[in-house]
Amino acid sequence: MFPAPFDYYRAHSVDDAVQALARFGDDARILAGGQSLIPAMRFRLARPSVLVDINAIDELAYVRESDGHLAVGAGTRDFALETAPLIAQRYLLLADTSALVADPVVRQMGTVVGSLCHNDPAGDWPVTALAARAQVSIRTPGGATRTVAIDDFVVDSYTTAVGTGEMAVEVRFPTPGTRTSGSYQKIERKVGDFAAEKLLAGAKPSKDLIRAAMREAEKIADPSPDNRGSVEYKKAMAGVLVGRAIAGALERLGVGGLK
């Protein structure tokens, strides 16, 4: 199905985009990679009256490391992050995630910040951003920038702290310390299925600790049954994924062969 009619505006700077949002009102939406928004519009789950396209804003496409974090601009495609050399060296949780988002063609268009803003509970980036304690910078209608911790950014399914007339411009992932690691695990029937994950801090690693974390994950997981599996199966798999993620992260720190 085709999307409902809308007006299109191509922004050439962040200020231009924010001013356009102010001009067009509540029903305007930012169009970044469009890999979630366009399907949603085609299914008529989303019906924006105006799309403000930010794909021509070249200054938003960057991956930069500074002041203890990795900054990823709102124009950065998944593919650009996936292939950034410093990701493979130091940001292994991000490397894992970026290689598992949808499929390689979708990743050449889709953006990291766009995925955060879409905030699909089955999306990959919101989960990783939560685990990595990311922060999101948001440009306000007045032209100021506010920074929101990911716990406050993610409000509910498909709902974020980005308010009317605002635009998320950057996500920052803290640079992992030498004794910090992460691992992203996902079960899918085929590429492009939607995602789950975990990261631990503070405790002394042991097999018992991993088993306890797995049991905890099974307990707190609250899945819905669908054609991907029953509640019982999904709860069990939540435990399995958490176990694999912790073991994988520990192995990266050189902590293998636990008792």
Least Å from the CB of residue 57 to another protein: 13
Least Å from the CB of residue 27 to another protein: 14
The terminus-to-terminus CA distance of the chain in angstroms comes to 56
Task: Pick between residue 79 and residue 125 the one whose CB is nearest to another protein.
Answer: 79
Least Å from the CB of residue 107 to another protein: 8
Least Å from the CB of residue 19 to another protein: 19
* Helices 207-220/231-252 angle, 10° precision: 150
Task: Pick between residue 43 and residue 233 the one whose CB is nearest to another protein.
Answer: 43
Least Å from the CB of residue 106 to another protein: 6
Contact by Cβ (8 Å): 234, 223:
yes
Least Å from the CB of residue 203 to another protein: 35
Task: Pick between residue 26 and residue 103 the one whose CB is nearest to another protein.
Answer: 103
Least Å from the CB of residue 51 to another protein: 7
Task: Pick between residue 194 and residue 233 the one whose CB is nearest to another protein.
Answer: 194
Other residues' Cβ atoms within 10 Å of the Cβ of residue 117 = 25
Task: Pick between residue 97 and residue 137 the one whose CB is nearest to another protein.
Answer: 97
DSSP string, the chain: -PPPP-EEEE-SSHHHHHHHHHHH-TTEEEESS-TTHHHHHHTTS---SEEEE-TT-GGG--EEEETTEEEEETT-BHHHHHT-HHHHHH-HHHHHHHTTSS-HHHHTT-BHHHHHHH--TT-HHHHHHHHTT-EEEEE-TTS-EEEEEHHHHEEETTEES--TT-EEEEEEEEPP-TT---------SSTT---------SSPP-HHHHHHHHHHHHHH-----BTTB-HHHHHHHHHHHHHHHHHHHHHHTT--S--
Applying CB under 8 A, the residues found at the interface with another protein are 2-8, 10, 31, 34-35, 38-39, 41-43, 51, 53, 55, 79, 102-106, 108-109, 191-192
Task: Pick between residue 39 and residue 163 the one whose CB is nearest to another protein.
Answer: 39
Task: Pick between residue 24 and residue 153 the one whose CB is nearest to another protein.
Answer: 24
